[in-house]
Amino acid sequence: MPQIEFGSLYKFAASVGLVLIFAAIALPWILLQSTGVLLISKKAVAGLPDSAGAAIQRRQLVVTWAQDNLPAPIFVVLALAGVSLLVWAFVKWAPSQKRSDASEQLALQKEEVEFQNLSRAEIDERLEEEVAETNPVQPNEVLPPATESETPTHLATPPPSSADAPTMSPDAAQEPDPAARSDGREAAEVRREQSRQLVAQLRATEDQVARLFQDAFEGAFKVVREVRITSGAARGRMLDIFLDPTGESRAQLGIEIKRLGGQILPDRLTDLMTRAAITTQDLSAGKVFTGVRGRPREAKASGVLVLVLNDEAFAANAFRIQRHVPIINSVMKRPVGVVLITQTRLTSIQSDELREAVASVWAEPDNIANLE
């Protein structure tokens, strides 16, 4: 049976209307079900104890009175009264509900992740920082001029005697050797050139991956490159690619692209996945987009890490990463999917292959997607 609501006048009127409608239906059914008590004979009642016989006789009197004094039109009146109250309450309630819905929608919009595109200078700065972090140029790659202590003993020239030594002024003794200064400038220029080459390689890799994502998710998502999160717990963090769905049921997804060489250590993998998880923790949940018909799965991950690795150490790295990804995800609030691909494979992969790989780790982030 409906319960009476006392929260507001409109809720009260609506609940009373429902009670009246319920009564108009339930009371005739109860009366019809009670006619059996009228069929008990006097002889059967006389054979019962006095208390039982008296109770049956009282029930017979109530049922008889109700059937004689409650005509069918009264139930129609109850039903009409209930419907009228219900309609009046809904009409009066509608404007208030619209305002409530608008307030909830505004609050929801404020909770959604907001972002802004990075400027060209900010993109260049981010790439240089990432290259310096992932592929630092070691100082020993360009050897500085040898000092006297590094010169082999058998090649060392004996020091001149004090009589033969030329007299040097204090200012001249403090001046750096022109040859050493020139070698230092050359070493710094070599390091800068190597850094520029690495930045160019990373930019080209990100462009390749971004074009694939654009082809794979165009239409179903707004594919945005190089964005900074400006709201929520991830405020100030940056994403290489952000997939913002055009459909309400689909989940958002943040993409981080990393180009790495050599052996991938567990600590480095943990650091990359943790950063991706923090950056994408506020993205909305929903269904995984696969691009094919069928019932979509729920998205467990909110971020995907695309690792572009060297061909030579790919198999060893893939084995190591697959072993550690479930362990790292087990301590995260929002897990991160990992897609592995080689630079060679990146030039020939199709967009639907990438979409299928991303969908698999989007729904099951503990299993990496291997696109060797």
Shared domain check, 291 and 261: yes
Shared domain check, 94 and 213: no
Residue 151 lies in a domain: no
AA letter at 213: F
Q: Which of 49, 77, 110 is the last residue of a domain?
A: 110
Write out pLDDT tens, residues 217-243: 888 898 888 888 887 777 888 888 999
Read off the pLDDT band of 142 (50, 70, 90). very low
Read off the pTM. 0.58
Shared domain check, 362 and 214: yes
Write out pLDDT tens, residues 12-42: 888 888 888 887 777 777 666 666 655 566 6
Read off the pLDDT band of 365 (50, 70, 90). very high
Residue 349 lies in a domain: yes
Domain tally for the chain? 2
Residue 21 lies in a domain: yes
Determine the Cα angle at 249 with ends 247 and 251, to 5°: 90
Shared domain check, 130 and 53: no
Please tell me which residue, 349 or 56, carries the higher pLDDT value: 349
For 219, residues 6+ apart whose C-beta sits below 8 A from its C-beta are 246
Residue 54 lies in a domain: yes
Q: Which of 56, 76, 110 is the last residue of a domain?
A: 110
Shared domain check, 106 and 65: yes
For 293, residues 6+ apart whose C-beta sits below 8 A from its C-beta are none
Shared domain check, 364 and 326: yes
Asked if 56 and 45 count as a contact pair (C-beta separation under 8 A), the reply is: yes
Residue 147 lies in a domain: no
**Alpha helix (H) ranges present in the chain?**
9-33, 42-46, 50-69, 72-111, 120-134, 170-174, 178-217, 266-280, 314-329, 343-346, 351-363
Shared domain check, 261 and 129: yes
Paired residues of 254 in beta bridges? 242, 303
The pLDDT of residue 2: 64
Write out pLDDT tens, residues 298-323: 888 989 999 988 888 888 999 999 99
Shared domain check, 123 and 105: no
Shared domain check, 314 and 292: yes
Shared domain check, 244 and 104: no
Residue 161 lies in a domain: no
For 13, residues 6+ apart whose C-beta sits below 8 A from its C-beta are 85, 86, 88, 89, 92
Instruction: Give the structural domain span for 49.
Output: 9-110
